[in-house]
Amino acid sequence: MKKEKEQKQEQHDNENNKAKFDGRLLLVTTLLISICSIIYELIISAISSYLQGDSVLQFSITIGLYMSAMGIGSYLSKYIKEKLFNKFIFIEMSIGILGGFSSLILFLTNIYTEIYILIMYTLIILIGIFVGLEIPILTRVIESNESNVRKNLANIFTFDYIGGLIGSILFPILLFPNLGFITTALLVGTINVAAALLIVLKYRNYIEKCKLVRSMVIVLFIIMIVFLCTGNMITKNIEQGLYRDDIILSRQTAYQKIIMTKHKDDTRLFLDGNLQFSSSDEYRYHEALVHIPMMYANSHNRVLILGGGDGLAARELLKYNDINEIVLVDIDKDMTDLCTQDRQIADLNENSLKNEKVKVINQDGYMYVKENKEKFDVIIIDLPDPNNESLNKLYTNVFYNYIKANLTDDGVMVTQSTSPYYARKSFWCINKTIKTQFNNVIPYHIQVPSFGEWGFNLAFNGNNQLKDLSVETQYLDKSNIQALFVFGKDESIDLNTVNENDMFKPSLIMYYNEEVQNW
C-alpha cells in the first residue's frame, strides 16, 4: 500500500513538473540551431570554391558529407541516455567552436599546409555529427518533460525547416556581403554558444553541476565575443598571407572580393583571388584585347565592352576618334565605382569611366546581350575566367549566339580566352564553341609577364581584313602584330579532342578546373 502511494506521488510530481516545464526557449533554440548549421555548410562550400575552384564539386561534396555525418550523429544519439541537458549544452558549445572557427581554420590551412582537403572534410564531418546529435537529444528532452509530445515534435521540425530557409537567405544576401567569411563564421559560432548560455540560465534546475557548466559556457562566450570583435583584424592578417604584396584595399561586394595590392610602383587588382591586372604590364593585355579587333573592324561607331569594369579597355578605345559611343556593361557597381573614384586606378585608366562617350551599365552581361536590340560594330568581352557556373554561361554557344545578334553584319567580337599554354583545352574549347556561331574565328595570344601566356579569340561573319594600326601604343607595332597569330606546338591542339561548351553540358568548367590545378 505504501509503495503504491509512493508511485502515485511520483507520478503526480512528474505530471506537475511537466505542467511547469516551459519548452518555448528550446523551440527558439531549434530555430537558431538550424540557421547556424546551414550557414556553416554554405561557408565551408563557398570558401572551398574560392580557394580550390569547381563550385559544383565543392558544394556537392559538402552537402553529401554533411548529410551523411548528420545521419551518423542521429544514429549515435541513441547511446546517450542520461544527463540530456548537459549533453545538449556540450554539443552546442562544440558546434560553436568548430563552426565559429571554421573559416579561420580553412584559410590558415590553405596558406600554411598541403592538407586543405583533409581538414575541410574533417570539419564537415565533425560539425555534421554534432548537428545530427542535436535534434534527437532535444526531442527526448522535450518528450521527457512535456505532456503534449506530438504537438512539440511537430513544432521542433517546423522550426528546424524554417531555420534552414532563414539561414540560406541570410548568408548570401546579408551576412557574407557585409561581414565576409571569417566574421560571419565567428558571429554564427557566437550565436550557438549564446543559445547554450540561454539554456543554462533558463533550465538550471535540470542541469547537473550547473554552476560549473555555466562558468564554462560564459568563458567560451567571452572568448567568442573577443574573436568576433577582432574579426576584421584577423581577416586582414589572413588576407595579407594570401598575397605577395601589401594590401592597400579590401572590399567585399555582392558579387566578388576586391583586393588591391601595391609594391613600389606596381599596383595589382585581384577579383576573388584572381589577378585582374598589374599596372606594370596591363597595357600589353589591353592593347591586344582592344586594338586587334579594332584593326579588323570596318566601323568603330558603337562599341560594347562586357566586363572591363577597371576602365582599362575603355582607355584604349578612347584613342579612336571615330568612336561615338562606348557602352560598358559590368554587373558590379562597386567595381565600376571604385575604378572611377580611386585615384590610383583612375590615373591608370586615364579617367575613362568619366568620359562622356562612355556609358556604364551595371547589369548582368548575359541578360544585356539577350535583351538588347541595338547593334554594335565591335564587342569586346573582358570577363573573368570561367571558374564557376555563372561565368561559364558567358562562354557558351548560346551566349555567342546572342553576341552575334548584337553585332552589325560586318561587326567584330573578341573575348579573352584564358591561357593557351597553361589552360590549353580551355582555350581551344572556347575557340571551338565560338565556331558554332561565327564563320571566321581567329585565335591569337600575347605574353604578359604578370599573367604569362594569354589568349584571345576574335570572330566575325563578314569579309573583314586586318588593317594597319592607327593609334599610339606601348607594345604593339607592325613588327610584332603578326607574331600574335602564331602558336607553338605546345599551345596548339586537335579540336577533335575537345568538346564545345554547351549551356546544358558545360565542358569548359571541367577543362578549366582540371588545368588550373597544375597552373
Q: With beta carbons less than 8 A apart as the criterion, state whether 268 and 277 touch.
A: yes
- In angstroms, the CA 167 to CA 211 distance is 32
Query: Which run of H or E residues covers position 252?
Result: strand 246-252
- In angstroms, the CA 292 to CA 304 distance is 15
347 is annotated as an active-site residue:
no
Q: Where are the alpha helices (DSSP H) in 113-175?
A: 116-145, 149-170
User: Nearest-5° angle of CA 191, CA 193, CA 197?
Assistant: 110
The sign of the torsion formed by the CA atoms of 394, 398, 403, 404 equals: positive
Q: With beta carbons less than 8 A apart as the criterion, state whether 323 and 300 touch.
A: yes
- In angstroms, the CA 326 to CA 511 distance is 33
Grid cell, residue 348, equals: 591608370
User: Nearest-5° angle of CA 267, CA 273, CA 276?
Assistant: 45
What is the widest separation between alpha-carbon atoms in the chain?
A: 113
Distances (CA, A) of 108 to 112, 143, 315, 432, 438: 6, 43, 39, 40, 47
Q: With beta carbons less than 8 A apart as the criterion, state whether 200 and 180 touch.
A: no
Contacts of 231 (CB under 8 A, 6+ apart): 179, 182, 183, 186, 187
Contacts of 355 (CB under 8 A, 6+ apart): 314, 318, 326
The DSSP code for 502 is B
- Helix (H/G/I), strand (E/B), else coil: 379: strand
- In angstroms, the CA 156 to CA 134 distance is 11
Catalytic residue among 160, 334, 382, 385: 382
In which order are the strands placed within the sheet that holds 274-278?
246-252, 257-263, 266-271, 274-278
Q: With beta carbons less than 8 A apart as the criterion, state whether 96 and 198 touch.
A: no
- The set of catalytic residues is 382
